[in-house]
Structures are given as C-alpha cells and as structure tokens.
Structure 1
C-alpha cells in the first residue's frame, strides 16, 4: 500500500505519493498567491498547479462568483480549494462534476489530514484539521459545486435530522426539536472557554508531531512542563550548572533560581531575584525553599540524559565549525552567571535552550511561535483572540490535573507545584464535564469500598 505525505512551502502544500517500496511516484499539489490590484482596488486570489497552470474554475469562483464577499470568506475558500484541486490531481479527475460518492469519501479522508490507513493508499500528513475547519471546507465545496456547475444532489448535500433540546429550563421548561445537518459534516461541540490544560491524548498527539517534524529541544521543553510541572520561564532560565545528581541513585535535581544575567522571561517564581552579583554569596541565596534562594525539582535519570543529549547535539563542534556566527553568539550571548562550584566543561555556564537560527537563548516569544505551530499540526485549539490562556502554562495545568485525578490531596499538590500556600493551587483545578464524571465515579468507588469494609467488620 502506498502513502501520501505533505511538505509545506510559502505558497502552499506540496504532496508526495510513495509506493509500497517507498519510491516517489507522484508529486502534486496546488499553490497560490494573493494580489492586490491598485487600479481596481480589488484583492485577487490566484490558484495554480505546480507547473504554473491556472486553475480556471477555481479562480473564476474566487474572483467573480464570491468576489464581492468578505475577505475572510474568500480566504477560507482559497485555502479549501487548494486542498480540493490537489485531491482531484491525486485521483486523476479533470472535472469536479465527475466526482463519485467513493471519491467524496476519499476526499474527506484526505481533508482530515493526520495519519490514517486507507483502502488503496494511506495518508501521513502533518496538517490535522479540527472538526470546525473540516466542516467549513466542505461548505466551500458545496457552494463551489452549486455555483459553478449547478450540482446539489451529490453525497455532500445529503442531510439528516437530529434532535435538539431548546431552552435550558427544568422539566416542562425545556422541549425537544429537530434540525437538519449535512451527513458528511462532523459534530462540533460548542466550547465555552479555551481548555486550560493538555489532556493525555493531546499530549500523545503533540509527541507524535514532535517526533515527525521537530527535535529533542521541543520534546525536552514540553516534558519538563507536562511531566515535572515547570513554568516556561523556569525552563528557559535553566543552565548547565542547574542539573545536579540527587543523593537518590537514578535521579537528578533541577535547580530553579534567578540570576542577574536572566532576561525577564527567564525568571522563576517563588525565589528571590538578586539585585547584584554580590548577593550570590549571601546565605538566603544559598537556601532552599519558597521565597528563598532556590527550589528543586526531582527528575529521572532518563530525563537528565535527554537534556544532556540536547546539549551535546546543539554544541557539536562540527556543527559550530560551519557557522562562526553561531559559535560567536553562543560564546557572547548565551553565557549565564556562574553561581555554584559544580564542575563544568571549560568552566563556562550557558543557558541550555537555544534559538536554532541565531544560537542565542530562546525567548518566550520565540518558543510561543514554535508551540503554536506544534498545536496547529496536532489539531489542538489555540486561543487566537484574547490569548487569555497561556499555551505553555496548559502543560503545568495538566501536571496538576493528573495528580488531582490520581487522588493527590491539596497539601501534596502544593508541594509538587512549589507554592507557598495551598490556596494558590485552586487555580489549577479546572475539570471539564468528562473529568467531573471520572472524578465522581472514582469518589463513589472509594466510598463504596469504605462502606463495604465498615459493613463487614
């Protein structure tokens, strides 16, 4: 069975089809550009194939049929039709009017993206579209087929009736009704607010994306937040000397502290920030605890080894010899203040996580850009409006919720989160309906076990 993969370019997505022997047998896709006419004061959306041939019907639809519609609607149609005509090229269909029900089922599989097994070919696509985007693209195809060819009787247009509850009263105050929806569309649940934490299945998606499209740096940073509860500022402020063996064999301590050399986005919470380098020798700076000099986070040896693997990979001499600028930036801009006596190579302390391009310490803005790309590829919702939910902090919330769901009490959670007060831990308790059902079930089971024990005494 063959497989189809995608590759992103500045103009659009290029697809590559491989046979069962992993031989490239087809390269296809649609590219496009948006052009503003200063004469007619109109924006044109243009789609071509990889050879530069115009896709005439698509361009007529974009610039004439819906040419006076709002920009956002035309932009969505522009994106949707590039995918649509890429699919037509894949299945060797010259005219959209020739689409069969089977073709439309394959189109839906192609449109979903991600990694899926098909009957003839499989897809291993980086892009995964959420249900709302998927439905929006199908709506574009319906409108396109109807306006360009008068087609309204294909599988795409079939509808079903669904039951709905109207009103939110109790008993007689609420009644049921019916609505129609397209069979081909997916269910979209109204989301009252952006989720505050990453669920286990989303974490698995993220790790899958990282394995295919990113590297050790992204895996380490996310694991430190998701599995160990670090804030993003604490992660970006880590240096070579902050990884020290624990007295317990098989474990290491991460030292969380502030330095004078830290940028504001590399600061930690719950530790005192020195105002001069002289304070590195003060007793309070060398004491562990909330609002003292430092905190510690225990990590497994395997995690410490993964961090060291990233350090070795990013500081490879052969790699640096090819870029004097990176070596210079590493020497001049990535050096952190030395505050301990931990032995280091060349006796030089550096911030661990680097910007790939410049080899300066990665900033929160730079990391945020990377993370949004990962979320998009994994099909995870991003708060595009107010950005009220910090993307990185969702991992720390997940760290807390995992422990709550395992039965951890508030005082234990306070210690795990390194908070000064148990009250401040309440912000991390954000169960959705699914969580509430699970927690209720577990509580009932615990109550039943206690009741049965007391009954049998």
Structure 2
C-alpha cells in the first residue's frame, strides 16, 4: 500500500490531500485536510484563530496564542500559528489526534516539514518549498511547548529530537554561500548591464532591487513595498545630502510586500494611530547611497514616462503622509512590465536564479537552505562587519536588528575573511610593538 501526500494550492491558501493506492498503483481512497488560520482585530488588538476542517475553532490554540502570548509581537504569534497548524494538519493526515501521534509518526512529521520523501510509510510528500533545518528545529520547539501547555506531559513529542537523516539531509548544499559578496555584486550588475534580453527599464529595475538589498540591507518584502513617497532627500547639520527610504506597511500591500519588523496594518484607520507614527514601531528609516537612490528614481521615471504615453500609471498605493500638492498620488515603485501590477516575486526569483548561474554563484537545490534574496541583505551585514570593520553594536543600527545576538546568524565569514582578519590583527600588533620601541 502506498501513501502520497500532496500540497494543493487554493486561491491564496493551501491544503493537503492524502491519496492511498494499492500495490498496482490504483487509488483506494483519498481525502483532503483543510485547516484554516485567520486573524481579526477587536479594539486595536489582533487575535489569531485556527479552524479545523469543519470550521470549528480550535480553542486550545486560540488560548495559547492570544492569552498565553498576549504580549508577544504579531510576527511571533504568526510563527506559532504556522507551526501548530502544521502539527494539526499532520495529525489529520495520520487520521489521529495530536495526542495520539506515535514516535514513528513524529519522525515522519520531521520529514513532512522538510518536504521530501521519507522512505517510510508515507512514500512521497510533495510540497512547494520545504523548510530548512533551522526552521524545522524552530517548529518542533514550538510544538513541544504547545504540547506542554495542553498538559500532554507524557507525550513522545516532548522527547522528540531531529533524526540523523533529517539533520544530515541536503548535504550537497553544505558549500552553498550564505551571502553575496560585494565582488559578486559587481559581477551581477555587470551581467545585467550586458543582458541583451532586457530593455533599459528592466535593467534599471533589477539593478535597483538588488542594490537596495545589498547596499542598504532591505528585505525583499520591504523592497517590493516601497512607494514614491517613501524616498527622501535631506541635508544634515554639516550640509551633507542624505538619501533615505522609509520602511512601513500599508493596507494596500500584498503578503509579498510586508515589512515584517514594522507594525502590521489592518485598514486605513491604523495610519492615524500613535504606534504607526512612532519610529522603530510603525516605521523605520534606512540610509541609501547616492548611486542606489538615483538608480531607483531613474527606474521609476523611465517606467512612469512609458506608461504616461498610453494614459496609464503605476500601481496605486495608499498615501500615508500629508502633501502640499493635493493632487499627489502615491504609487508602488517596482512593477511588472507586462501587466503593470506590483513586481511578481516569482518572476524576480526566476531572473535572480538566471543571474546567479551566469555569474557562477551556487544555488540551493531541492530544499531552500540559504534564502535566494536574503543573501543580499546578508552580504550587507558581512560587508559592514569584515570590510568596514564596524563593531556589531554599530552594525545593528544599519541592519535594524534589535540586538547583537539577533545579528549572530548573519556572521558567517569565509576562510579568506578570517585569514584577512588575522593578518590585520598581526599587523596591528606589529605596529604597536614598533611604537613601544620608540
């Protein structure tokens, strides 16, 4: 008998389908597993709800996230919801309650999260994107804490450790780089300039997207959510010109345009809240270098000029500032050339893979371990740490991390960088020794 688990996309969501086949590959039975998560806002508080297949609220999950973790950030609550939801989905696939999962099934759950064939009772699991080992550890820990909360004190989940086969899976990605160096970035920009398949507008677009991530440390969602009113030019007390971008969320943003460390916006009323107007809570400010700023504005001007010829305009975005020009209209900066909608992240991903291959930059295979776009932001952090030699306490002000501890996952120097660091220290010690002689 063969068991196949498929992940089926439906609208903006997804559900799982279990197919049971006999030895002659004939379908004996199949059924769908549909758990639905959503959020609702009541009195300025966001509540997270999990519904089972019969659209009944899973009360223990509701209490765990909204009561026990009442003061946690929305991002934390969303992560907990995702992990616990997958635990319930897997139990439903196994046709049992979460309290009845066996050790063998818990081992399968780890493979289920990784998104590939288990070689066990469930012969194949087809998922759109498997989770990295780091995320599997995180999900298992969340589920263990939830099981304790549910008073399943003797449950095997509490003793669950990642199996060696899961830990050692995907070893072929071991040497896959975690960040894009500035030298590789120069290769990328040169490739784009010479790509005959792109028009000038498209070249500017891709260069601007990559430059915002590599040279200013923006996340991909923050890039895609940028609007024309977010770009600023100012002068400091020394008369120097400063180029900045304001990072914030809008009600018109899609799920791919979210600034994950800023206040989540439910509707236009949130724009008037004190939280939304507070720096580091509702919005963040990022410094841009001059080249990045003018690459972005040059791209948008080229896009806008093309659209105006056809009496069109870029995609509308909510305007959240007061403007002297009462006719001011706000637009998202990055747009698909063909349909004039916000830039599609899958199209951007496909082109990025093309660029990486052309520049000899290794890609992850099968399971995403090193996020395609996050490698640019990672490169920004590494440049500040090892090229600019900034202390971590200063770097986090540029990367917008809350602490030096949260910066640690970005600290993955190459052997060359470690060697150069050691050489610099030796030269510094030699200089100090010579100074002491005289």
Q: Is the 8 A contact 1:241 1:344 kept in 2?
A: no
Listed as ranges, the matches of 1:352-371 within 5 Å are 352-371=333-352
- Greater alpha carbon shift after TM alignment, 414-423 vs 430-439: 430-439
1:105-152 deviation per Cα after TM superposition (whole angstroms, max 9, x unaligned): xxxxxxxxxxxxxxxxxxxxxxxxxxxxxxxxxxxxxxxxxxxxxxxx
**Does 2:294 match 1:305?**
yes
CA–CA distance in structure 2, aligned partners of residues 203 and 272 of structure 1: 31
Q: Is the 8 A contact 2:300 2:333 kept in 1?
A: yes
Q: Is the 8 A contact 1:239 1:336 kept in 2?
A: yes
1:196-233 deviation per Cα after TM superposition (whole angstroms, max 9, x unaligned): 01123321211111101141001111111111111111
**Does 2:416 match 1:416?**
no
Q: Is the 8 A contact 1:335 1:349 kept in 2?
A: yes
1:44-98 deviation per Cα after TM superposition (whole angstroms, max 9, x unaligned): xxxxxxxxxxxxxxxxxxxxxxxxxxxxxxxxxxxxxxxxxxxxxxxxxxxxxxx
Measured after TM superposition, the shift of residue 394 of structure 1 is: 0.8
Tell me the residue number matched to 1:377.
358
Tell me the residue number matched to 2:259.
268
CA–CA distance in structure 2, aligned partners of residues 344 and 312 of structure 1: 19
Q: Is the 8 A contact 1:261 1:337 kept in 2?
A: yes
**Does 2:197 match 1:220?**
no
Residues 201 and 302 (structure 1 numbering): CA distance in 2 closer, same or farther, change over 3 Å?
closer
**Does 2:368 match 1:387?**
yes
Tell me the residue number matched to 2:129.
none
Tell me the residue number matched to 2:30.
none
**Does 2:181 match 1:199?**
yes
Q: Is the 8 A contact 1:240 1:344 kept in 2?
A: no
Measured after TM superposition, the shift of residue 296 of structure 1 is: 0.4
1:327-352 deviation per Cα after TM superposition (whole angstroms, max 9, x unaligned): 3xx56xx2111101245694111110
1:390-437 deviation per Cα after TM superposition (whole angstroms, max 9, x unaligned): 111111111111111121111011111101111000011111222211
CA–CA distance in structure 2, aligned partners of residues 444 and 360 of structure 1: 54
SS at match of 1:316: helix
The count of aligned residue pairs is 257
Tell me the residue number matched to 1:177.
none
Q: Is the 8 A contact 1:253 1:296 kept in 2?
A: yes
5+ unaligned residues in a row in structure 1: which ranges?
1-189
CA–CA distance in structure 1, aligned partners of residues 214 and 221 of structure 2: 14
CA–CA distance in structure 1, aligned partners of residues 426 and 375 of structure 2: 28
Measured after TM superposition, the shift of residue 441 of structure 1 is: 1.2
1:139-180 deviation per Cα after TM superposition (whole angstroms, max 9, x unaligned): xxxxxxxxxxxxxxxxxxxxxxxxxxxxxxxxxxxxxxxxxx
CA–CA distance in structure 1, aligned partners of residues 406 and 265 of structure 2: 24
Q: Is the 8 A contact 2:247 2:284 kept in 1?
A: yes
Tell me the residue number matched to 2:331.
350
Q: Is the 8 A contact 1:250 1:300 kept in 2?
A: no
Q: Give me the TM-score of the superposition, normalised by structure 2.
A: 0.55
CA–CA distance in structure 1, aligned partners of residues 175 and 278 of structure 2: 41
**Does 2:296 match 1:315?**
no
SS at match of 2:245: strand
CA–CA distance in structure 1, aligned partners of residues 182 and 216 of structure 2: 14
Q: Is the 8 A contact 1:234 1:266 kept in 2?
A: yes
Select the residue among 239, 242, 256 that pairs with 2:230. 242
CA–CA distance in structure 2, aligned partners of residues 254 and 286 of structure 1: 15
Residues 398 and 211 (structure 1 numbering): CA distance in 2 closer, same or farther, change over 3 Å?
same
CA–CA distance in structure 2, aligned partners of residues 345 and 193 of structure 1: 54
Q: CA RMSD in A?
A: 2.1
Measured after TM superposition, the shift of residue 191 of structure 1 is: 7.0
Q: Is the 8 A contact 2:235 2:241 kept in 1?
A: no
Q: Is the 8 A contact 1:256 1:294 kept in 2?
A: yes
Larger Rg: 1
CA–CA distance in structure 2, aligned partners of residues 335 and 256 of structure 1: 17
Query: Larger RCO: Structure 1 or Structure 2 (Cα < 8 Å, ≥ 6 residues apart)?
Result: 2
Listed as ranges, the matches of 1:17-28 within 5 Å are none
Listed as ranges, the matches of 1:47-126 within 5 Å are none
CA–CA distance in structure 1, aligned partners of residues 346 and 363 of structure 2: 15
Tell me the residue number matched to 2:106.
none
**Does 2:277 match 1:296?**
no
Q: Is the 8 A contact 2:221 2:256 kept in 1?
A: yes
Tell me the residue number matched to 1:284.
275
Residues 191 and 276 (structure 1 numbering): CA distance in 2 closer, same or farther, change over 3 Å?
closer
Listed as ranges, the matches of 1:433-452 within 5 Å are 433-452=415-434
CA–CA distance in structure 2, aligned partners of residues 364 and 441 of structure 1: 41
Measured after TM superposition, the shift of residue 263 of structure 1 is: 1.0
SS at match of 2:216: coil
CA–CA distance in structure 1, aligned partners of residues 228 and 286 of structure 2: 15
CA–CA distance in structure 2, aligned partners of residues 236 and 437 of structure 1: 37
